Structure 1
Amino acid sequence: MADPLGASGELRARQPKAIHSALTVLEEVARAGAGVTAREVSEGLGLPRATTYRLLNLLVQDEYLVRMPDLRGFALGRKVAELVGSVAPSRPPQAAREVIAELRQRIRGGVHVVRYGDDSISIVDSDPDFPLNDELRVLREFDASAIGLLLLAEQRSLGRASARTAHAGRGIDDDLAAALARGYSSQIGRFVPGFGCIGVPIRDSSGLLVAGLCFSGPRTRIESPERIVAELANSGRSLAPLLA
């Protein structure tokens, strides 16, 4: 395949093929998930290795991509999150918002509602009084929060896999096994030392995971979760027919 950037390696606005290639690289990173390497992008798209590196570097410079901490892989960056955020997910219906408001009154702490796709998460109602610490990280690193762990556990139960795991090897298998055994997910200390979160699934009538309720708060409440899990599960049953 010819190098669409040309010998200069510069991306010019009048080079449609180069612009198309950059967008294709961005789509490939989104499809493959956080941690995909330049080599994997090159092979997945059939692009020359040198072209792929230049496009990846341009996208990193413009903050559409970021390098992973190990410097080997790439993930979607701040500008992509801003673009996604500009198309706000639909708000839950009024009846659902009433259930959520009552739940927040009963348990002080962050209560958030998300929807799930096959390999995606959208935050549809973040607690305004206790906002999520890092929404972008929640959306792109599924193993970093109870919200993402719910989806990973569901995928594992269905024999699927996700590339959106930045902390593989840090107990992810134990986290998923625990979530499958208990019916809810939890994590402590990955976002803020001394704090954590709990995720409880919301399923449709066929049992498919469609949404989730998440509580975030001090680690003492996550380590003794019985009351919180019961409250989340009870509200989740009320929300299921409203969100499915």
Structure 2
Amino acid sequence: MIHGNETHAAGAADLLGSVRRALRVLEAVAAGGDGITAKAVARRAGLTLPTTYRLLNTLVHDGYLVRLNQSRGYGLGYKLTGLHRRLCQQLEVTPGLLGVLHQVHDECAAAAYYTVFRDEEIVVAEVVDSPSAPRAEPLDVGFHEAPHATAFGKVMLSSLPASRRRDYLRQQGLVRLTERTITAPDVLEGHLERVHASGVAVEVGEFQGGLSCLAAPVLDADGKVAGAVATSVPAELFEQRQPQLEDAVRVGAARVSRLIAATVSP
């Protein structure tokens, strides 16, 4: 005999599994690009073909995917644009801010990043790059790890009260990503004090070997750090280009700060 609680738990587990399978299908279509076939989706998602067809049809019906008749495959649906737009609104990525990031990208010939505090996390909110100056993987929108090893993370950590910073880093952990990553709490604390005093953070090979990043703080209308503008370049180019990168990032961060202040002005 199956009791009510057991039946409820089994139903909840099945529902959770269905949601996860649907998300795997969605991610498989996104990775495969327009025209990916059901068989290719099933292979990427690790699902049976009947299950894949059922989930594809559901996602097409709800607007998250489209069926492309000419290629006889599938592509991302237009409903996702609304989700992206609302995420940008929640992360406060405005057209003006996006324009500033494009300017930083063009002036630096390097990927430009904008990060914010979202709840208790330091999150990448927007990235502007190009084929000739790509973003550093995995620094995409939503990345929220290893703030102790990234320039934008250090800028934002340096703005926190010491007790809150210690609690945050205790939860995150000081993971060693490369041989240059700072993992000693007292050493990192001294480093963050210097970042706070200078108004700019630099990291060379701490997050990824062969990568250098530089960031400057974005201030809200009350003068508190609300985010950061950053850029990344191959480490072998950094020393020569550091003055140009620092000027562009500082100017970009100041422009974003003015945009934020303007939104709350009477």
Match of 2:244 in 1: 227
In structure 1, C-alpha distance between the alignment counterparts of 2:163 and 2:220, rounded to whole Å: 16
**Contact 2:102-2:128 within 8 A present in 1 as well:** no
**Contact 1:133-1:191 within 8 A present in 2 as well:** no
- Higher-RCO chain (CA-CA 8 Å, sequence separation at least 6): 1
In structure 1, C-alpha distance between the alignment counterparts of 2:104 and 2:206, rounded to whole Å: 25
Structure 2 length-normalised TM: 0.53
**Contact 1:138-1:145 within 8 A present in 2 as well:** no
SS of equivalent to 2:128: coil
In structure 1, C-alpha distance between the alignment counterparts of 2:202 and 2:108, rounded to whole Å: 17
Q: Which has the larger radius of gyration?
A: 2
Cα distance, 1:119 vs. partner? 2.9
Q: Please list, as runs of the form range in 1=range in 2, the aligned pairs for 1:140-159 lying within 5 A after superposition.
A: 140-156=145-161
2:218 is aligned with 1:202: yes
Cα distance, 1:138 vs. partner? 4.8
For structure 2, the 5+ residue unaligned runs are 1-5, 14-82, 176-182, 262-266
Question: How many matched pairs?
Answer: 168
Give CA-to-partner distance per residue, 1:152-206, whole Å, 9 cap, x none. Answer: 1111468643132323317423431331231111211133322111111000121
**Contact 1:111-1:214 within 8 A present in 2 as well:** yes
Name the % identity. 14
Bigger Cα displacement from structure 2, 116-125 vs 129-138 = 129-138
**Contact 1:138-1:144 within 8 A present in 2 as well:** no
Match of 2:87 in 1: 88
Structure 1 length-normalised TM: 0.58
Q: What letter corresponds to residue 102 of structure 2 in structure 1?
A: A
Q: CA 1:213 to 1:158, structure 2 compared with 1: closer, same or farther past 3 Å?
A: farther
2:201 is aligned with 1:193: no
CA RMSD of aligned residues (A): 3.2
For structure 1, the 5+ residue unaligned runs are 1-11, 20-84
Match of 1:131 in 2: 135
Q: Please list, as runs of the form range in 1=range in 2, the aligned pairs for 1:110-121 lying within 5 A after superposition.
A: 110-117=111-118, 119-121=120-122
2:8 is aligned with 1:14: yes
In structure 1, C-alpha distance between the alignment counterparts of 2:163 and 2:260, rounded to whole Å: 22
In structure 1, C-alpha distance between the alignment counterparts of 2:102 and 2:253, rounded to whole Å: 13
